[in-house]
Amino acid sequence: MTALVLDGKQLASQIETQLATRVAAIKARSGRTPILATILVGGDPASATYVKMKGNACQRVGMESMKVELPESTTTEELLAAIARLNANPDVHGILLQHPVPHQIDERACFDAIELAKDVDGVTCLGFGRMSMGEVAYGSATPAGIMTLLRSYNIPLSGKHAVVVGRSPILGKPMALMLLAADCTVTVCHSRTQNLPDFIRQADIVIGAVGKPGFIKGEWIKDGAVVVDAGYHPGGVGDIELSAVKDRASAWTPVPGGVGPMTICTLITQTVEAGEKLIG
């Protein structure tokens, strides 16, 4: 079987070309530029790298980014104040709070302080609730990016059995609801699911989102399944044992180069959409 490689890097590049045209149109009619504000609390090197990558993506499409860097000792109240200033700033069209924040901060309270119209990373409870009800909201960036990837490669979804392994509030749970909205039959599993291999063997579509390297074994996945690995760990490995399934899957995402580029692309896409709405 020749499997289809779901190349997120290539697709993201194509979408960025389209976004650059939209950003240029905003500038031409308003004289203003969509701006994504990124908030980085503390000095975690991986988080700093992710924020830099998002800033670079803004530059590629002609947007601007505003970097807010706060010390490791920042309190919840100080972070809430910084978010409030960005909410009130008419020149900021999207707000990203880089996850995770230091342990002393109430991350959920800070996520939910982001104004819905600027929640381009799809992290607020209000945005999640609206999305789950089929109302207008920006989707959580990684699952929304996966949906774009699947649809762009014409992967059949309606009526298929999708198994999502992972239940995090910004990946596993919204992923399950997005697939459900696309008429999949969805099973949500996690690290404590009993008889996990039995569930995965039933899947037409497997989404690895559990956050543990190599947790999902290739032998558990049936021939012809669509395999999406949303994990990324040191050494360039994901949540799924891809080496054991590449020749048996009908389609699969590489790690890196699959889901990761689509996450950033979705964030930028939703910031452009927010700019179009807020600038007018």
The CATH number of whichever domain residue 87 belongs to comes to 3.40.50.10860
Q: Are residues 148 and 255 in the same domain?
A: yes
- For residue 165, give the nearest of 55, 240, 88, 275 by alpha carbon: 240
Q: What residues are annotated to the active site?
A: 54, 98, 121
Residues 205 and 160 sit within 8 Å (Cβ to Cβ): yes
| 132 located within any domain | no
Q: What is the pLDDT along the chain (280 residues), one digit of tens a residue?
A: 689 999 999 999 999 999 999 999 999 999 999 999 999 999 999 899 999 999 999 999 999 999 999 999 999 999 999 999 999 999 999 999 999 999 999 999 999 999 999 999 999 999 999 999 999 999 999 999 999 999 999 999 999 999 999 999 999 999 999 999 999 999 999 989 999 999 999 999 999 999 999 999 999 999 999 999 999 888 889 999 999 999 999 999 999 999 999 999 999 999 999 999 999 7
The CATH number of whichever domain residue 169 belongs to comes to 3.40.50.720
Q: Are residues 117 and 146 in the same domain?
A: no
Q: Are residues 159 and 249 in the same domain?
A: yes
What does DSSP assign to residue 226? E
Q: Are residues 254 and 156 in the same domain?
A: yes
Q: Are residues 107 and 165 in the same domain?
A: no
Q: Are residues 104 and 193 in the same domain?
A: no
| 128 located within any domain | no
Q: Are residues 147 and 204 in the same domain?
A: yes
Q: What's the domain range around 69? A: 31-121
| 253 located within any domain | yes
Query: CA angle 104-105-109, nearest 5°?
Result: 150
For the chain, the domain total comes to 2
Backbone φ, ψ for residue 58 (5° rounding)? -60, -45
Helix (H, G, I), strand (E, B) or coil at 64: strand
- For residue 48, give the nearest of 73, 65, 61, 67 by alpha carbon: 67
Q: Are residues 109 and 175 in the same domain?
A: no
| 135 located within any domain | no
